[in-house]
Every structure is written in structure tokens, then in C-alpha cells.
Structure 1
Amino acid sequence: MGRLKKKGQAGAAKNYITRTQAVKKLQISLPDFRKLCIWKGIYPREPRNRKKANKSATSSTTFYYTKDIQYLLHEPLIQKFREQKSLEKKISRALGRGDVGNAKRLEGNAARPEKTGRPRYTLDHVIRERYPTFNDALRDLDDCLSMLFLFANLPSTSTVPATMIARCERLCLEFQHYLIVSKSLTKSFLSIKGIYYQANVQGEDILWLVPYKFNQRIVGDIDFRIMGTFVEFYMTLLGFVNFRLYTSVGLKYPPKFDQAKDEQSAELNAFTLEGQNLVADGEDGQKQLTNGETEDHQVDPETQAAVDKVVKKLKGTEEAKDEPSGTAVVKGAEADDGEAPSNAIDKFEPAAPGGDVLPQVDFSGSDAAHLFANCTFFLSRESPRQPLEFLLRAFGCKRIGWDAVLGEGAFTTDERDPSITHQVVDRPVVQAAAQGDGEAQDNQTSQKLGANQRIPGRIYVQPQWVWDSVNDGELKRPDQYAPGAQLPPHLSPFVQPVQGQYDPTVPLEEQETEGEALAESDEEMGDANGEAEAAGSEEDEGEEDEDEDEDEEEEDDSFGGFDEDEAKAEQEEEAGSEDDDEAAQRQIELEAELTGRPMQEKPGKSRAKAKKDEARKALARKAAEEAEEHERAKGMLSKKKRKLYEQMIYSNSKKSAEAEKLREKRRRIEKQAKTKGKA
């Protein structure tokens, strides 16, 4: 006879544990339990049968895996929590007894990160446990960067200390410096939530959101304790990632930080990168090598002589390998030993005849990483300096100037510097107001620009030009982004076009359906007839006025006006240069105007109307056949597959309806633009 099983000791009752039981088992407080679960990556679980997991109890509670809670029993952070809790009890007991000296001594031993900056614990071992490889940490960097950039833009409060905000901002700026040096940034998009950035770091695509630099208003319905727990973990994670990324490109971590420059809003320019193989730019724009050495370091003459000797020897061997005299040497061709130039690209050839043809890699001379390398920018004081500076530096720009009110670190603060090639302006064109004394006041909020204040030869663009150029990988036409111009639509580079859906980059005629095209042609014909009727009524009124004027003139003078035959002859002579159909149609219109009779419909129009009716009938017949075919196909399916097929049809029709709404909206906007252009 087998052993009898007791209720609640096997199955779901043993595999799951409630939150209250977990807190009692770990002997920690509920806030510490939340922190521990967030840091260790342990989340609540939903059992299949809540009644069995809760041992027939009906109260609603949160469940965890029993093995996860058992795993937390060996966590070193629990001992840190217990020590801190014991110290807090000792301090409160000493204050209750009136022993201020002992309480002050214990207070000095306590960890107060918001006051002293000393952490109570470190999360290094947690980072190593959760991310065994570096690629795992890069995959989880999206939420990390979004949260840290958000907290770097918050004002300091009692729940969000200033030390946390400063550390978040510093870590974010260090990560941006790596992206600038490694040229890893690929795309960016301006949205209503903020600015999206995408970077490819060691083969991993990272997408994060940066809020705009607005004054944030802290509301009371946000639990900053939970968010602060995530931020504390993410700060440790990004510190590890930054260290690994900096060392991978030969930079020292952490970079030198100038507190004085940071207080003057230098931001990126408050850091000084040091390391091997780093090419930095001085303020004069000349390239300098920063090898971690002092500026007064001098090269050893003996070492330099040895290096020159080796270089000469290498040059001699290369000349000896060249082809003999009398044969032309092509620059960039392969040498006799079969070695290809360093900038050559491998070609993928099929291993066997008839094999698959692989796509070849194309070499582009205009690398996107050096898109703005030959440009010198000046940022007007109304433009967003921080995102523009980051984007321009990440894509090769070395010289960026801005107004002195935007902070330190600019290449130049003089707007009239002749070396500036592009200026980013984000204000409408304002003409100078004429005043009696000839003087115009200028302040921070409104600028009265003179007619000749623009510098010749400089390109003036709006900030969207930078983002669109980065996403397309080429410098866009600046006339489309001139100050005061109607900007082209700013489309997200992260959305891939799907066949059958609305694509704003494709002309409307290429993506609309047959039914939409027929409906549009009917609307155009109706609008044209309405305009013709309106024009005819206006002409009739004009003719009546002309008749009255002619009667008055006949009373005064003896002028009788034009004869009907003469008017016909003149109109025939004017229409003689056009085609026969157009001339006949015009003749009919003129006769109808002179005689006051209704204009006869052109035979061509009736034929076009008949063709449209036939096309409409054919479209309806085709739709009916497709619906019948779908019903026949559904009858051959099983019940499960039929439901799946119906769900697919429903989702596709919903997407098609949304695309049709977008196309209708675009059609209406284009029609309004045409009417405005005619007006």
C-alpha cells in the first residue's frame, strides 16, 4: 500500500508561496522584499489553479515560486538589510533614553546615501549573476537608458535626491561620449514623448527614449520608491557597461570630469577623454593625439631615429615588390604576391556552379558616420542645444558653436564667424519694424531682424534638417528646411512599410484601391460640374449687366456692338492652333454662351462615364466572386481553423480600414492645398 498524500504538501500548494509567507520566511520588511525581488529579477507568478495554490483559501493574494524564495535565502543583501535595521533600532533606543552622544556616534556609522553619498551595499555581484555575458547586458540596456535619462531630467526632491540625479546625468553623458567616439549612433526620431535614439553597439541594436528639456512637475501619484529601486540597479549596470565599452576602444574609465565646466552647463564638454588611439579635436580644429601623456612630453630622439629607419626599410621592400620598369603600375591594384589593398571588400562567389548568389557588399565613399565632417555649425539660442550637439558630434562634426547663453564648450560664440557653414534657426522670419528714430530693441524673447542681417554664403536650416539627414544618411536639400518654410513630414525610421498598408512616402495614386480611384474620379467630376455651373451663373449675370450697359450706351451713342457671326469667326481663329476635339468643344461652349442655350454634353464625356460604370460593375462582380470563394474555402476548414481564419480576416479588414482613413485624410489635405494654390 502506497504512502498517503496529505493535502497541501504536493503540487501547486508546494510549488507556490504567497507574498506574506515569503516575507515571514526571509524575515525582512515588505519594502526590502520588493527591492530584493526587483534586483534579483524575481516576479510574481500566476498559478493555473489559484484555489489549489492557496490551499482552498478564497483571499486574493500574490504568488511566487517557492524555489525563487528559497534562492533568496542565501542572498548577502539580506544580511545588510538586517544590520541596517538593527542599527536603526539602536539609534532610536538611544534617542529614547536621552543618550545623545551615543546616538550621534551610531548615526555616524549608519549609511545615509542622501547625506553622505556612501551606499549601504553594492550590487556588483547581482549584476554578474543576472548578466553572465556582456551581450546579455547590452540586450537589457533599453529600459536602463530610458530610465536614467528620465531621472537625469528630474528636479531634486525628498524622494529623488540630488546625488542620484547627478550620477544619472554623468553616466548618461559618459555613454554618449562612447557613442560619439565609436560612431555607433544610427537613427533618431522626434516624437511627442521625447527623442528616440538607436545605436548599434557590438552588434546589438539599442533603442531608448530621452525626454525634452522642459521643467518637470512632480505629481504625488507616482511611487518614486519603486522607480528609485530600478534606478539604483540601472546605475550599477550602466557603470559596468560603460567601463567595458571604454576599455574596448582603448579609453580610460572614468573620464576626467571638470566640475566648474559642468556648473556652466558644459555637459559633454565637461569630460576629457584619455586613452590610447584616441583622436580628439582641440578648440582650433586641429587633430591631436591624446595618449594619456602630458603636453610637455618630448619624443626620445634615438627612438624616433629607429622608427624612421624601420619605415624607410619597409618603403624599400615595397618598391622592390613592384613590377619591373617599362610596365605601368596601377594605383590601388593588387601586388604580385596576391595581397589586396586594405580598403578592398570581399566578394561572395558561389562555391559551385548553380549555387545561390549572395548579395554583395557595397562600398560607399560617403560614410554616414562622417556625414557632417565638412560642416561647421552654429546653433541659435532658441534651438535645442543638447540633442543637436550630440547628433552632430556623433556623425562627424568637429566644430559646433552656439550663443553664450547656452553654456560653455562652444567652438565659437561669435555668430559672424566666417568659418561657419550652417546655422540652425528655430524661429520664424521677422522683418524689422519701421520706427521713427530708426532704433529697434532686441531682447531674449523676440528678435527684430534687419533685412541684411543674414550672412552671405551660409546655409540656414531648421533643426529637423539634422534629424532627416541623419535618418536618410545624406544631406537633405536645405531649401526645404529654410526658416519659415513648410517642413516635409518627419517620419519614424523605425517603422518598416508593410505591403497593402498606408505608406506616406509613396504617391497616393500608387497605393489606392480601384474603388477609391473610381470614387475620387466621381468627386472630381462633380466638383468640376459645380465649378462650371457656378461660372455659368456668374457669366449670365455678367451678360445681363453688359446688356443693360449696352442699352444705356445705345441711348448715348450709336454703337451697336459685335455681330454674332463676327464673334464666331474670331473664336474659330483663336482655336485653330489647338487639336480638333478641343476646338470643337470650345466652339460649342462659345455658342452656348452667346445664344444662352444649355451646352450640349460632349460625346467623349458620355463614353468616359460609360467606362466608369463598366469598371464599377466589374469591381462589384469581382468582390462578389472573392466573397463566394472565401465562403467556399471556409466550408472546407475545421472549426478551429475556421475561427482562426475569421480572426485573420477581421484583423486584415481592420487594418485596411485604418489605411483607407489615412489615405482619405491625405487626399483631403492635398485637395485643400490645391485650392489654396489656385486662390
Structure 2
Amino acid sequence: MAKIKKKGTSGQAKNYITRTQAVRKLQISLPDFRRLCIFKGIYPREPRNKKKAAKNSTPNTTFYYTKDIQYLLHEPLLRKFRDQKALAKKIARSLGRGEVGDAARLEKNLAPKLTLDHIIKERYPTFIDALRDLDDCLSLLFLFASLPSTTSVPPKTIARCQRLCHEFQHYMITTHSLRKSFLSIKGIYYQATIQGQDILWLVPYRFVQQVNGDVDYRIMATFVEFYTTLLGFVNYRLYTSIGLVYPPRFDSASDERGAELAAFKLESKNVGHLKALEQPTANGTTPSEVSKEIQQKVDDVVKSAGLDEIQDTTVAEDQTTNEYAIDKFEPAAPEADTLPQPDGSENETGNLFSSFTFFISREAPKAPLEFLLRSFGCKRIAWDAVAGEGAFTNDETDPRITHQIVDRPPLPESSLPAVPEAHADSVRIRTGGRIPGRTYVQPQWVWDCINEGKLLRPDLYAPGATLPPHLSPWVKTTRGAYDPRASLADQEEEGEAERAEEEEEEDESEDEQVGDDSKMANGAEEDEVSEADDDHGMDVDDSEQDESDEGEEDEEDEFGGFDDAAEAASESEDEDEALRSQHQKELEAEAAGLPFSGSTKSSSTKKSSSKTKKYEAERRKEEEELERQKMMMSRKKRKLLDKMLYSNKKKEEEAQKLRSKRRKLENAAKTKA
């Protein structure tokens, strides 16, 4: 006879452990257990059957893998946590005795320091793994870099987050690794490509943040502590990979005056080697001068041999026939799919603004614009002295400035105050005047140029102009979907605009008809009241006529006939009823003394109804053909086709709604113009 298994020794009861059991097993407090799980990347799990996993009838809510908790037993941080707990008891005992000096000495000298270096190496065995997990890290650190200092968020943490974020931004500027950016309601999204890995993070806008008590900042501070260590490792590896010294030199005084990115100065590792080369040798000449003399002799030999001419011809041939030019994919047919075009090289995109000098106005966001412009090759960026240090120039009238980023509409000269001639130029610039020969654009121009990978027309982004739609660069337009950048005529179906106009005319005619009916009804009621007061004649009995009409109607309902005959009869009945109703309305309008204009409307409605009938007939034929094709399919394929058609129909309806809204806006703009 086989052994009877004990309950709770196998299956889910063995694979899962509750949080209370885990805390008791590790012999630490619950906050320390949370910190340890965050550092090690251990998260709660959801078992299939909570009752079996909990070993009792009352299921718990939080479970962990037993192997994960067993793995935590050998963690070196457990000893640090226990040392902290023992030190806290000693400090509390000293404070209870009134020995404040001893308590301060214990906290200063015996406080254990937590190092997370070994955890970073365990969780990210390769550098690519660290880059893949950098999205949440950057988003959280940029968030804490913009928070105000409170009791829950100390200023040291904010300063450290700001410094790490600026160091990472300097690497992006140096290597031109930034690819795309997008302005959203949440903040500004950035995407960079580092060693083949796409990294996307979110930076909040620089508004005044209000720290609420609803958020548990202890847990967020634990994540910040881990992510600062991670980003420090990543920055060190990135800087050393391109030959820069890490950490870069930081000028705290300049940072306090608002320099931000300009407070950091990057240095190359070969600076010492270059300085050694500049030192004179025993002969009194420097190695660089010797190398120049040797190079001059080599150039003379090349010229005498005529090799430079051959080299020039080869360079010219390479320029004419560039084998490494980027191909462009063109569709073979007008109905073919549009293939995504390859991106330009890093040199082309990284030097997008290299030939320009920008001036950022005071109302424009300086920090994101400076980062974007420097990342794409701009070397000279100016702003007002109020915005901080680090500008190329603080003079707005500098003739070297080619572009100015303005986020306010231009004011008419009549609204400007009268000023003396000596200060006319400065006051005119302050109040929104324009300097001739300079291009004025709104901030969205920078983002759209970066996402498109080319310089767009600046007149579309002039101050006060209606900006084109700012679309997400990560959302690709599909066939049949609404595209705000394309014209409305290119997206509409055949006859869609005409049908929309017909529907609008029908709605207007119905509204007018409802108004006329209400007026006629009021007039008819008044006539009936007057007739009731004046009529003293005999009443006519129309019961026989009503019975005969009812009999005729019953005979018409009983007769079925063939399909074509039924359709013709129904059409004739509709026409007769329309004529009768129109004649009745004419009589009522004549009795009420009101004009009747139903004849002109009826002709227009007939024309519109004919077009809509044609469209509905074609649509009905397509549906019938589709139903015939469905009959030949299996049940599984038919259900799959129904789901596809349903989803496509929903997308078409959404796109049609957006097109109708745009059509109304364009028509309203035309009428105003």
C-alpha cells in the first residue's frame, strides 16, 4: 500500500508562500521586506487556486514563489537591515537616557551603508539588459528631478536625479542618439537609439508640482534609490565607450544660476596624452612639430609623383556614383501598400540644425528646446539673461541669429505704446516686434522637423498661425483610417461629399418643414375655434364613406402579387401618398393664409433621394454578393470573416465621423472667408 501524502506538501501549497510567512521566515519587518523585493525584482504572484495555495479555507491576497523567498535567505542586504534595526534600538535607548551626544555619534559612525552594486550585476548580466530596462528608470528619475523638496522628497535626492539626467542628456547630445519626440498631455516623450536598443521615456512639463499625501513616497524612494544606482552604471559605461571622462566636471555655482546643461563640461580621456605631446623634447621641438615636418615631406613626394590627381579623380567618381546612398521604396501600383522608407544616416539627422543660430524667447520652454536643438547639431543657442546662464548671447538683436522661437501672437503696431526714438528698437522687440531677415517660428516646428527628419516650411508655423496637427511619430496610418495630414479629397470615398451635402440639406428641410407645420397647426387651431363659435348648421354623416375606404384598404392589403408588381405598386402608392400629403398641406396653408414652398423642396429632395437610392442599391448588391460568398465558406471561416468585417466597419465609421467634422469646419471657414 502506497504512502498517504500529507496535505500541503506538494502542488500549489508547496510552490506558493504567503507574505506573512515570508516575513517570518526572513525575520525582517514588512517595510524592509518590501524594499528587498523591489531591489531584487521579486513581485507577488497569482496562484490558480488561492484556497489550495493558502492551505486553509480563508484565502489570502498576496502570494510569492517559495523559491524566490528561499533565494532571498542568502542576500547580503539582510545583514544590513538587521544591523540597522539593532542600531535603531541603541539610538532609542540613548535618547531614552537623555544621552543625545551618544545617539548622534552612533548614527554618524555606526550607520550601515547599503550598496546595490552586486544587485545591479545580478539583475543585468549584460549591458544590453540594462539598456532594455532603462525606460521606467528615466521616466521616474526625470519625474523626481522636477519635484519640489519636501519632507518625503529630500533635496539631496532631487539634486542627484537632476545630475544623472543631465549627464545622460549630454551623452545624447554628443552621440546624436535622439531620434523622435512628441508633445502630449502627460509630458514630452523622447525616443533614443543606443547600441541598437530603442529607449522611450517621459519627461513632465515644468509646472509647479503639488505633492499630495495620497502617494506613498517611501516605495517610490526605494525605486529611486535602485534606479539612481542603475543609471550611474549606465552613464559610466556610455561615457567610457566614447572616450569621455566620467563623471564630467560640474560647476555648482553656474548650476545655481540656471545654467543646467551648460554647468557640465565634458573632457576626453586623451587630453593628458595630447598635453604630453605638446611638451618640448631634448632638441627643443615638440613631437607635433616633428610630425608636421614629416607630413609635409610626404605631401611633397605625393605631389611630385602625381598621385594626388588620381586621388582627386577617384573622389569625384565616388561623389557622382554614391553606392551607399539610401534607397527609396516606391509602390509598383497605385493600390499597392506603401512601404516604410528607411531613415537617414546619423550624420544627416544629427546635423539638422547645425547651420542655424536660435534665440529662444522667454515664453518658450527653454530646457526641452535646448536639449533638442543641441541633440540635432545646433551649436549656438541664445536666450534672455533671465532664463539663466550658458547662452551663446543674451542680445536679442544680434545679427547672427537666424531663427527665433516665439510662442505668442504678433501684436498690431497700433496697440503698441508710444515710446521715444532712442529706446524704440528695444521696446518694439519686447512687445512682439520683428527683426527683418530673421525667421520666426513656434516651438512645434522643432518637434515636427525632428519627427519628419527634414526642415519643414517655417511659414506654416509662423507666430499666430493655425498650426498643422502634431501627430505621434509612433502611430502609423493604415489604409482606410483617417489621416489629418492628408487632404480631405484624397481620403473621401466616391460620392461621400455629395451624400453628406444631401443629408445636410434634408436635415435643414426637415427643420423648416417642422417649423411650417407648427405654424400651420397653430393657424388651423385658431380657425377651428372660430368655426366652432360661428357654425350653427347641420352635421354630415361620413360613416358610409369611411366604411368604403376601409374596405378598399383591406382589399389592397390582402393582394400580394409578384415581386416586381409589388415593388411597382409600393412605389406608386408612395408617390400617391406624397402627392396627397402635399395637396393637403397646400390646402391647409391656403386656409391659414401662409405661403407654401413645398414644390421646390420636393424637386431637390427627389434628386437627392435618387442619388442616395443608387448608393444604397449598390451597397445592397455588394452585401448580397458577400452573403453568397459566405454560403460557400465553412463555419469557422465565416465567423472569422464576420469579426473582420465588424472591426473594419467600426474603423470606417470612426474615420467617417472625423471626416465629417473636418468637412464642417472647412465649410465654416470658407463661409467666414
Structure 1 residues 514 and 109: alpha-carbon distance in aligned structure 2, compared to 1, 3 A threshold: same
Question: Percent identity at matched positions?
Answer: 57
Pick aligned residue for 2:434 from 454, 470, 475: 454
Question: What do the CA deviations read for 1:33-83 (whole angstroms, capped 9, x no partner)?
Answer: 111111111111111111111113323321100000000111111110010
CA contact (8 A) 1:515 1:619 kept: no
SS at match of 1:429: coil
Report the counterpart of residue 482 of structure 1 in structure 2.
462
Report the counterpart of residue 573 of structure 2 in structure 1.
none
Structure 1 residues 58 and 659: alpha-carbon distance in aligned structure 2, compared to 1, 3 A threshold: farther
* TM-score between both structures, scaled by the size of structure 2: 0.76
Question: What do the CA deviations read for 1:162-216 (whole angstroms, capped 9, x no partner)?
Answer: 0000000000000000000000011111111111111111111111111111100
Are 1:387 and 2:371 counterparts?
no
Pick aligned residue for 1:637 from 628, 632, 635: 635
CA contact (8 A) 1:377 1:424 kept: yes
For 1:453 and 1:224, how far apart are their aligned partners in 2? Answer: 47
Structure 1 residues 456 and 331: alpha-carbon distance in aligned structure 2, compared to 1, 3 A threshold: farther
| Deviation of 1:449 (Å) | 5.8
Report the counterpart of residue 66 of structure 1 in structure 2.
66
Pick aligned residue for 2:162 from 160, 169, 173: 169
For 1:126 and 1:31, how far apart are their aligned partners in 2? Answer: 19
CA contact (8 A) 1:274 1:292 kept: no
Report the counterpart of residue 75 of structure 2 in structure 1.
75
Report the counterpart of residue 423 of structure 1 in structure 2.
404
CA contact (8 A) 1:84 1:110 kept: no
CA contact (8 A) 2:350 2:375 kept: yes
SS at match of 1:330: helix
Count of matched residue pairs: 572
Are 1:668 and 2:664 counterparts?
yes
For 1:224 and 1:626, how far apart are their aligned partners in 2? Answer: 59
Pick aligned residue for 1:141 from 127, 134, 139: 134
| Deviation of 1:322 (Å) | 6.0
| Deviation of 1:347 (Å) | 9.9
SS at match of 1:154: coil
Report the counterpart of residue 95 of structure 2 in structure 1.
95
Are 1:126 and 2:105 counterparts?
no
Q: Which amino acid aligns with 2:56?
A: S
For 1:501 and 1:347, how far apart are their aligned partners in 2? Answer: 29
Q: How does 1:185-584 map to 2 (within 5 A)?
A: 185-276=178-269, 301-312=285-296, 314-315=298-299, 330-332=313-315, 345=324, 367-432=348-413, 438=419, 453-514=433-494, 516-523=496-503
| Deviation of 1:455 (Å) | 1.6
For 1:27 and 1:320, how far apart are their aligned partners in 2? Answer: 85
For 1:175 and 1:233, how far apart are their aligned partners in 2? Answer: 17
Structure 1 residues 633 and 195: alpha-carbon distance in aligned structure 2, compared to 1, 3 A threshold: farther
Question: What do the CA deviations read for 1:567-602 (whole angstroms, capped 9, x no partner)?
Answer: xxxxxxxxxxxxxxxxxxxxxxxxxxxxxx99999x
CA contact (8 A) 1:432 1:449 kept: no
Larger mean CA deviation between 507-516 and 173-182 belongs to: 507-516
Structure 1 residues 317 and 374: alpha-carbon distance in aligned structure 2, compared to 1, 3 A threshold: same
Q: Which amino acid aligns with 1:455?
A: I
Report the counterpart of residue 657 of structure 1 in structure 2.
653
Are 1:181 and 2:174 counterparts?
yes
| Deviation of 1:261 (Å) | 0.3
Q: Which amino acid aligns with 1:671?
A: N
Uncovered stretches (5+) of structure 1, i.e. residues with no partner: 112-118, 278-289, 349-357, 534-596
For 1:2 and 1:226, how far apart are their aligned partners in 2? Answer: 50
CA contact (8 A) 2:277 2:286 kept: no
Report the counterpart of residue 560 of structure 1 in structure 2.
none
Question: What do the CA deviations read for 1:69-109 (whole angstroms, capped 9, x no partner)?
Answer: 00011111111001001000111112223333432321222
For 1:250 and 1:67, how far apart are their aligned partners in 2? Answer: 43
SS at match of 1:219: coil
Larger mean CA deviation between 483-492 and 659-668 belongs to: 659-668
SS at match of 1:79: helix
SS at match of 1:332: helix
Q: Which amino acid aligns with 1:170?
A: R
CA RMSD, aligned part only?
Answer: 3.9
| Deviation of 1:154 (Å) | 0.2
CA contact (8 A) 1:518 1:616 kept: no
| Deviation of 1:434 (Å) | 6.3
Structure 1 residues 629 and 361: alpha-carbon distance in aligned structure 2, compared to 1, 3 A threshold: closer
Report the counterpart of residue 109 of structure 2 in structure 1.
109
Uncovered stretches (5+) of structure 2, i.e. residues with no partner: 328-338, 514-596
SS at match of 1:213: coil
Question: What do the CA deviations read for 1:245-298 (whole angstroms, capped 9, x no partner)?
Answer: 111111000000000000001000000100057xxxxxxxxxxxx678779966
Larger mean CA deviation between 10-19 and 514-523 belongs to: 514-523
For 1:57 and 1:32, how far apart are their aligned partners in 2? Answer: 29
| Deviation of 1:643 (Å) | 6.1
For 2:493 and 2:252, how far apart are their aligned partners in 1? Answer: 62
Question: What do the CA deviations read for 1:11-47 (whole angstroms, capped 9, x no partner)?
Answer: 1100000000000001111111111111111111111
Q: Which amino acid aligns with 1:168?
A: C
* TM-score between both structures, scaled by the size of structure 1: 0.76
| Deviation of 1:528 (Å) | 11
Structure 1 residues 365 and 54: alpha-carbon distance in aligned structure 2, compared to 1, 3 A threshold: closer
Structure 1 residues 318 and 49: alpha-carbon distance in aligned structure 2, compared to 1, 3 A threshold: farther
CA contact (8 A) 2:445 2:456 kept: yes
Question: What do the CA deviations read for 1:300-343 (whole angstroms, capped 9, x no partner)?
Answer: 63412431244246546766886799x996251579xxxx9998
